[in-house]
Structure 1
Amino acid sequence: MTGNSTDDGNMEAILDVMGCKTRREIINLLREEPRFVSQISRELDIGQKAIIEHLRAMEEAGILSSFFRKIERGRPRKYYDISRDIHVSITINRNTFRVDVADEVLRRKQLPPGDDWARLINIERRIKKGEWEALEELKNLIRLYDHLKRKAEDILSEAEGLRRTE
């Protein structure tokens, strides 16, 4: 199993979410609009404690985000929403078992503007100075380049196939 566009731990968490019917039902509800725990619990007829556990797992996997919204009476409510687009591709055949999970940001057709080599060197410099938040930036850059490489390989393969048929 591969997860070239995201780390294996995140891929496993996303697959775990997708393997659970209740979590898929929660995601389906949240596609319509953000909701709070008791709404989800009522609509799915599942206890709030169970819903909270599912929401926590999906938030930790980065699939959901949460925010507080004031209401007229009482304390603010915690709402949950889908945090970003995630694309999952599974290929199974005699020669391959491959799972790719890509964030929407990685599906963009262009590289970000600027000098990428200089950006990479700057990240390296920051890491050497102990600026550990640069590690996440480096991981994102690697995921982007992995995705672009796969796309370029797909284009090449398709072009070579077309060329052979001419």
Structure 2
Amino acid sequence: MMSGKSTENQNMEVILDVMGCKTRRDIINLLREEPRFVSEISRELDIGQKAIIEHLRAMEEAGILSSFFRKIERGRPRKYYDISRDIHVSITINRNTFRVDVMDDLLNRKQLPPGDEWSRLLNIENKIKKGQWEAVEELKNLIRLYDHLKRRAEDLLMEAEIRRKME
């Protein structure tokens, strides 16, 4: 039936569950044009703000959407929502097969570095896409860290190769 690790199956189930709702698909269709805040989405779709907030929360928890705050001339900063990554869902149904494949376009999840560093990079990428230029300094610092880690890993590899040849 459906294959893959349990976390991959959970991710697939969450995405299918979230995307099974027409209102959520309509929200994503709006966000393809540009990031929007709750009242804009509510007005465009003629749906109450409380319902929109619940849909946005579910999609953000699934990793389909991200949010950020943007200052406005008067009042508090507004929370905007945007599509956070490209996701492809392929469903195959025939007499011999029932398979659902969910693929993250950025990279296959199995290839991602573990934990916080990858999310940190994606967060910086989202900030830069939204014109938050202070994130460029964060990116420079992250690159310096990655360069240092790469040099250290290369040194370790060279040392391991030398030891292996000596044995």
TM over 0.5: yes
Aligned-pair CA distance for 1:3: 5.4
Aligned-partner SS, 1:105: coil
In structure 2, the gaps of 5 or more residues are 120-167
For the residues of structure 1 that align with 2:24 and 2:81, how far apart are their CA atoms? 13
TM-score, structure 2 as length reference: 0.62
The alignment partner of 2:106 has SS state of: helix
Residue 58 of structure 1 aligns with an amino acid whose one-letter code is: M
Tell me if structure 2 keeps the 8 A contact 1:65–1:83.
Answer: yes
1:73 aligns with 2:47: no
Shift of 1:7: 1.3
Q: The residue matched to 1:95 in structure 2 has which SS?
A: coil
User: In the alignment, which residue of structure 2 is the partner of 1:31?
Assistant: 32
In the alignment, the residues of structure 2 paired with residue 52 and residue 2 of structure 1 have an alpha-carbon distance, to the nearest angstrom, of 31
1:24, 1:55 → 2: CA distance?
11
Q: Distance in 1 between matches of 2:21 and 2:3?
A: 20
Letter in structure 1 aligned against 2:8? D
The CA distance in 1 between the partners of 2:86 and 2:30, in whole Å, is: 15
Aligned to 1:17: 18
* Alignment partner of 1:106 is 2:107: yes
Q: Which runs of structure 2 are paired with 1:49-60 in the superposition (5 Å)?
A: 49-60=50-61
Q: Find the aligned partners of 2:47 and 2:106 in 1 and give their Cα distance.
A: 34
1:4 Cα deviation (Å)? Answer: 3.5
Q: Are the equivalent residues in 2 in contact too, given 1:3–1:11 (CA < 8 A)?
A: no
What secondary structure sits across from 1:102 in the alignment? strand
Q: Give ranges in structure 1 of 5+ residues lacking alignment.
A: 113-118, 124-132, 138-166
Q: State the distance in 2 between where 1:100 and 1:20 align.
A: 19
- 2:9 corresponding residue in structure 1: 8
SS of the residue aligned with 1:32?
Answer: coil
Moved more, 27-36 or 5-14: 5-14
Greater relative contact order structure (CA < 8 Å, 6+ sep): 1
Q: Which residue of 1 aligns with 2:46?
A: 45
Residue 104 of structure 1 deviates from its aligned partner by 0.5
Distance of 2:26 and 2:79 partners within structure 1: 19
Distance 2:14 2:67 in 1: 18
Q: Deviations along 1:137-159, whole A, 9 cap, x unmatched?
A: 9xxxxxxxxxxxxxxxxxxxxxx
Which letter does structure 2 place at the counterpart of 1:71? I
1:61-103 Cα offsets, whole Å, 9 max, x none, are 0000000000000000000000000000000011110000000
